[in-house]
Amino acid sequence: MKDLAKLASDAGLTVLLDGKIGRQEYQSITGSFAALERFAMAFYEPAGDNKSLIESLLNRAALQIDDNDASVMREAAGVLTREHYVGMARKAAALTYPDELTADLREVLGWPNFRCGPIAHLMRAAGADIKRKAEDEQAVVLHWMVKLVLQHGADWWTVGTKEISAMQERIKPTPSKEIPEVHND
């Protein structure tokens, strides 16, 4: 498996560790579009129809006697690859924070600290490094939930509850330690 963080860093992107919950790390990557394109070129492995077409073009280019024909085929393979990356970049751009407050963001940002507390306690029990002040707990939980909204839209809570269940599964209960339960009332 490719080391995505190393590929991103090598491409000129900045890789930030946003948080760690148990063994799961949450990272953000930022940088220029040119760096994103370099990352995509390093990462992309064509699939489906484009995969066979790109492989055929590159194989045919390798067999060409005429350098001009080989160059044209390599360029065509590159165009197909770049087309894929532009689509990926456009999809990633859709995850930017919206100018207008959506209903899902309004719900998430309206969570008071006492409602975020049980989730923060679970995250801490699963290994997250969260300070014990209510404001810190609330900030970490809201940050996590906003990212869910931006990535999954209206399905944010469905995905979030699956992540919460995974955290609960990772924690082994002991008689002296109770697993916090989280409810979306």
Above 90 in pLDDT, residue 89? no
Q: How confident is the model at residue 174 (pLDDT cuts 50, 70, 90)?
A: low
Nearest to 93 by CA among 33, 153, 50, 13: 33
pTM above 0.75, yes or no: no
Q: How confident is the model at residue 171 (pLDDT cuts 50, 70, 90)?
A: confident
* DSSP assignment of 87-147: HHHHHHHTTSPPSSPPHHHHHHHT--HHHHHHHHHHHHHTT----SSHHHHHHHHHHHHHH
Mean pLDDT confidence for 175-185: 61
Residue 15 pairs in a beta bridge with 29
